[in-house]
Amino acid sequence: MTSLNIIKEIEEITSIVILMPGVQYPRVTLDVARQLSGERVCYVTLNKTFRSIDALFSKNNIRARNFFFIDAISKSFTESAPEENRCQLITPGSLTEMSLVINEVLKAGFDYIIFDSVTNLLVYQKQTDVLRFIIDLVNKTKQTQTKMIMYAVQEEEALLRKICVAVDKCITIEGTGI
Amino acid sequence: MNETILIADDIADIRTTVRAVLEKEGYRVIEAATADEALKKARTANPKLIVMDIMMPGTPVGEIVKQIKNIPIIYLSAVRVSDTEKKELKQNGIADFIEKPFDIRELVQSVKKHLP
C-alpha cells in the first residue's frame, strides 16, 4: 500500500481535502502527521481530545514538537485545561469561536493547518453553515503562507462534493489505499 | 426489572438499536436526541440510568451532565479520549465510558453493573 506524499501533493497549492473511508482514517491521519512532524502545524481536532492525540502520537513514535492543537472536544466533558503552550480548548460546535481562533493561527504563520475533520462539524451544524465556514476558511488561508489540509470521511457526499469544489485539490483514498 | 433507562444519542439508529437490546433485557427505555432533551427527561421521567453520547448538538454534554444528580451515566462516544481522561471522568462521577463502535454485550453488562 503506497503512502500519500502530503508535502508534495500540497506543494504548489494552498488547500486540500483528503476523502477517505472510515477504515483508512486511522492510517492516513497518522501518516500525514508523521510526514509533517518536523513542520509547524496547527491541528484542529473535532473527534479526539488533545490528550488522546498526544498519547496516540507517542505510541506511534510521532514527535510532533511543533504542533499546536485546537481541541474542540474536551470542553464537552472536562474543565481542566491541558498544557496551554500546546493546546487551546474551544467550545464544541462553535463555528464562530473556531473561526476566531483559526484567524489567530493564520496570523501566527503556521506552515500547515490540519482540520480533523469536516465530517465531525456536521454533528453540531447544518450542512449550509459547514459549507459556508469551510469556504470562508479556504479563502482566508489563500491570503497567507499557511497550507490547509482537511480530512473528511466519505459520508455526506453532497456536501463533500461542494467542499471539493472550494479547495485547490481533493484526494480520494480508496478502501485498499492509494 | 422494568427500570427505566434513558438513551440519549443524536443518531436515531443508535437509539433504536440500544432500545431494542435493552427492552429485550426487560428494561423500559425512553429516548432523547439532544443533551437538552436528555436533561428534561431526566427530570420528568426519573430514569434509573442514562446512556449518553458525549457529542450531540446543542448545549455541550458536560454542561448538562453537571445538572443531572443521582442518576448513573454511561458515556457512549465515537470521540477518542485518553486513558487518563477516562479515569478522570470516572472519578468525577461518570459510571462508565464505552467507545463506539461498541459491542452491545459490553453495553448491556455495563448497564446491569451500574443500575442502582
**Alpha-carbon span A81 to A63, nearest angstrom:** 22
Sheet order of strands, A15-20 included: A87-89, A67-71, A41-45, A112-116, A147-153, A15-20, A169-172
pLDDT tens, residue by residue, A114-137: 999 998 888 778 889 999 999 999
Q: Is A144 exposed, middle or buried (0-12, 13-18, 19+ CB in 10 A)?
A: middle
| Structural domain count of chain B | 1
Residue from A50, A77, A125, A155 to probe the interface with B (highest B Cβ count within 10 Å): A77
Q: Do A73 and B61 touch (CB under 8 A)?
A: no
Q: Do A124 and B61 touch (CB under 8 A)?
A: no
Sheet order of strands, B96-99 included: B28-32, B4-8, B49-53, B73-77, B96-99
- B78 residue type, one letter: A
List of chain B residues with pLDDT < 70: 1
Residue A71 pLDDT greater than 70, yes or no:
yes
Closest in B60, B80, B88 to A91, CB measured: B60
Size of interface A-B (CB pairs under 8 A): 60
Residue from B9, B52, B53, B85 to probe the interface with A (highest A Cβ count within 10 Å): B85
Neighbours of A7 (CB within 10 A): 14
Q: Which residues of B touch A (CB under 8 A)?
A: 10, 54-57, 60-62, 65, 75, 78-85, 88-89, 94
**Alpha-carbon span B75 to B89, nearest angstrom:** 9
3 state DSSP class of A48: strand
Range of the domain at A146: 6-172
| Structural domain count of chain A | 1
Query: What's the complex ipTM?
Result: 0.71
Residue A55 pLDDT greater than 80, yes or no:
yes
Neighbours of B69 (CB within 10 A): 8
Q: Which among A133, A120, A142 is positioned nearest to A163, based on CA atoms?
A: A133
Q: Which among B4, B44, B46 is positioned nearest to B22, based on CA atoms?
A: B4
Range of the domain at B103: 4-114
Q: Do A78 and B61 touch (CB under 8 A)?
A: no
Q: Which among B57, B16, B19 is positioned nearest to B37, based on CA atoms?
A: B57
- Identify the CATH number of the domain in which residue B11 sits: 3.40.50.2300
Chain B contact set for A75 (CB, 8 A): 60, 62
Residue A11 distance to chain B (closest CA, Å): 31
Residue A77 pLDDT greater than 80, yes or no:
no
Q: Which residues of A touch B (CB under 8 A)?
A: 47-49, 51-56, 73-80, 91-93, 120, 123-124
Residue A178 lies in a domain: no
Q: Which DSSP string corresponds to B2-22?
A: --EEEEE-S-HHHHHHHHHHH
Neighbours of B17 (CB within 10 A): 15
- Identify the CATH number of the domain in which residue A33 sits: 3.40.50.300
Q: Do A47 and B80 touch (CB under 8 A)?
A: yes
Residue A37 lies in a domain: yes
Nine-digit cell at A114?
Answer: 490540519
The pLDDT confidence band at residue A81, using thresholds 50, 70 and 90, is low
Mention every residue, 6+ apart, whose C-beta is less than 8 A from residue A112: A10, A36, A39, A40, A41, A42, A146, A147, A148, A149
pTM of the model: 0.84
> What does the pLDDT read at residue A121?
85
